[in-house]
Amino acid sequence: MKNKHILIMLLATALLFGSTACHKDAQIEPKTPKVTEPDVSFTATTADFGWAVSFPGKVSSVVKVSRHVDMSDATSYGDATPTSNKDFHVEITGLSPETQYYYCFEIWNPNLNQRSEVKSFTTQALQKPTVTTASVSEFNFTNATAVGGGEVTSDGEDAVTERGIYFGTTPNPAITGTKLVASSTGTGSFTCTMTGLVEGTTYYVCAYATNSLGTGYGTEVSFTTPVDRIFTVNGVSFTMKRAGGGTFWMGAQSTNSSGQNYDSEAYDSESPVHSVTLSTFYMGETEVTQELWQAVMGSNPSHFSGTNLPVEMVSWNMIVNQFLPALNAATGQNFRLPTEAEWEYAARGGNQGHGYKYAGSNTIGDVAWYTGNSNSQTHAVATKQPNELGLYDMSGNVWEWCSDWYGNYNSGSQNNPQGPSSGSTRVLRGGGWLNSAGCCRVSYRYSSDPDDTNYNYGFRLALPQ
């Protein structure tokens, strides 16, 4: 009986150790590889697959794609070379839009072959292109142009066959504006040059891009072409104001109180009153300052001293033969003296004039430094009221040289007159700090030898459009 109990105990021990050994053997069995963290994205013609494999050894893995749920005729994508890197990525192109596809992941090495569950995705529909409208570049005064454009950020999975901009002076330029086609196609940035622009005008622009599905439009942007032109020479900036072209009555007369440009103070030299038509030009906002003369010439000839005072003691010849060539070389422009007709047109306020006796007012003290308020000296420019064009000191402060020889007026209509072809003196206009109010009238005429310098003589710049 005792031997029987011992035998039972020995059998139980054997069974216990045998079970434990089998369990340990199961722990070292190879693990089953699994696809983890699958990431699938797709467009109309592409699919992007990213996945990881959980397995301790080297494996190969691909994605299989088919139009059939049974994965018949499936195409494999990926690198079949065994690797220890368990992160895989494949991008597939050339798919058909709005089509259902089936896919699965396959994993293998010499000892196993595993395939994941079959899933599906449907590619998107083709889209119109996506385009943004670019900001417009700086307005080019010389050519009346500006550059617009845009960027095609997506072709909608279909080739962009045309792109460009619409622009016009009213909103929704794609409906009412002018169409400009860019010289290139496809995605990316492009530009178009708008021509025939007008100063002081607001324009609306939107970019577009076209593929076989239609046209996509960018957000509308607007810009306003400037009226004024600002230049800087050696750190000194000055502004040129636009004088829009037009027709006006030049001169004054004192014989017919109901006639054109009647002025009881008018001299015979201001007659006859005659019609003059001028093209658009630009006129200096102020008289040329000592600061600007110094920046251009490196010296200052003035009797009175102050950076913002008008330069004086400058002759017509000094201006035309020395200052203007140096200024034009520094700026690349064609600055000049105004003609006498341009000067009077600008002093009268151009096509915005109100018919004032002085430049901007019938009250001289509002707009001019003259003998009645100057304290026998020049004053800083732009400290009185401007006239209708925004021009300061057209009346008073210093006389202003014009380009013309002095001569008598003709009664006939004139177009951009340049004055007599010859003479002995050059025209001065506007009066100065040393003169009476009558000399500061917009029609008053004076002249001097082109070599004369005087602490009451200065000038103002003009610039063609």
Q: Where do the structural domains in the chain lie, given as residue ranges? A: 34-122, 130-224, 229-464
Give pLDDT, residue 35: 82
Helix orientation angle between 324-331 and 290-297, rounded to the nearest 10 degrees: 80
Give pLDDT, residue 31: 62
Give pLDDT, residue 108: 84
Q: Tell me how far apart the alpha carbons of residues 454 and 435 are, in angstroms, rounded to a whole number.
A: 13
Give pLDDT, residue 257: 97
CATH number of 34-122: 2.60.40.10
Give pLDDT, residue 6: 45
Give pLDDT, residue 320: 98
Closest CA to 445 of 416, 390, 402, 411: 402
Give pLDDT, residue 58: 82
CATH number of 229-464: 3.90.1580.10
Fold equal for 34-122 and 130-224: yes
The position carrying tokens 């991008």 is: 91
Give pLDDT, residue 363: 98
Give pLDDT, residue 12: 45
pTM: 0.68
Give pLDDT, residue 357: 98
Give pLDDT, residue 103: 95
CATH architecture of 130-224: Sandwich (2.60)
Per-residue pLDDT of the chain (465 residues; tens, 9 = 90+): 445 444 444 444 444 444 444 444 444 444 677 887 789 999 888 999 998 888 777 888 899 999 999 998 899 998 777 677 778 889 999 999 999 999 999 988 877 788 888 999 999 888 999 999 999 998 888 788 999 999 999 999 899 999 999 999 999 999 989 999 999 999 999 999 999 998 889 999 999 999 998 999 999 999 999 889 999 999 999 999 999 999 999 999 999 999 999 999 999 999 999 999 999 999 999 999 999 999 999 999 999 999 999 999 999 999 999 999 999 999 999 999 999 999 999 999 999 999 999 999 999 999 999 999 999 999 999 999 999 999 999 999 999 999 999 999 999 999 999 999 999 999 999 999 999 999 999 999 999 999 999 999 999 999 998
